[in-house]
């Protein structure tokens, strides 16, 4: 897909700065601008859009979401990557309302592939438009927090921001801790300690 005429805007948030690639009301890519995080990359020829962002524009909507002023995105999506299966999964993710979570297995059933929870997990992990396509609202079969390309601590933050944390059942850091269980904050600290220091 061509990105000719597309803009890229940097949107600082409490969980990091996101690069939003869009054309009008259509979002193509949302990358987290952080070393070590999987990124789609900004296409060549994309023009930089600086704030203030126009009302209703995708970067303005993303900013409003993190400010707690928006619970639904009024945009179209046009991912630049993905197989037909991936796109079916992403389309189903768009149906999950804020404040709710769905399991990988349930997504698989909804798109007509019962038993394909693992394949759904792969498609969720390849989502090039996180937040707008809410892959953070997908959880494990026992309501645990599972892999998230932007970091599990961000997944927990997003769910808390939307009012769906702690999860109803057992979770990686829910209301019922197992003895010796690591919390997401512990993992974040450990991960940060392993990162090379900046020069």
Of 135, 145, 159, 184, the catalytic one is 135
Rg (CA), the chain: 17
Counting Cβ atoms within 10 Å, is residue 83 exposed (0-12), middle (13-18) or buried (19+)?
exposed
Rounded distance between C-alpha atoms, residue 80 and residue 88, angstroms: 14
Single out the residue of 153, 148, 143 nearest to residue 125, CA to CA: 148
- Is 91 one of the catalytic residues? no
User: In whole angstroms, what is the distance from residue 78 CA to residue 123 CA?
Assistant: 16
Instruction: Please identify every residue annotated as catalytic.
Output: 135
């Amino acid at each position: 897909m061509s990105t000719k005429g597309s803009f890229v805007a940097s949107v600082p948030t409490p969980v990091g700065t996101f690069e939003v690639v869009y054309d009008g009301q259509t979002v193509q890519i949302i990358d987290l601008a952080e070393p070590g995080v999987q990124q789609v990359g900004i296409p060549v020829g994309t023009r930089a859009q600086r704030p203030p962002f126009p009302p209703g524009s995708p970067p303005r909507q993303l900013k409003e979401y993190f400010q707690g002023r928006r619970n639904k995105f009024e945009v179209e999506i046009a991912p630049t990557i993905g197989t037909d299966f991936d796109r079916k999964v992403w389309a189903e993710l768009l149906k999950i309302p804020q404040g709710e979570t769905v399991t990988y297995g349930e997504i698989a059933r909804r798109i007509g592939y019962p038993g394909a929870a693992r394949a759904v997990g792969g498609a969720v992990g390849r989502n090039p438009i996180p937040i707008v396509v809410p892959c953070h609202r997908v959880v494990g079969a026992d309501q645990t927090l599972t892999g998230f390309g932007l970091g599990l601590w961000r997944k927990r933050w997003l769910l808390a921001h939307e009012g769906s944390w702690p999860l109803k059942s057992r979770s990686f850091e829910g209301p019922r801790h197992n003895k010796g269980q690591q919390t997401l904050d512990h993992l974040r600290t450990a991960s940060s300690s392993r990162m090379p220091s900046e020069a």
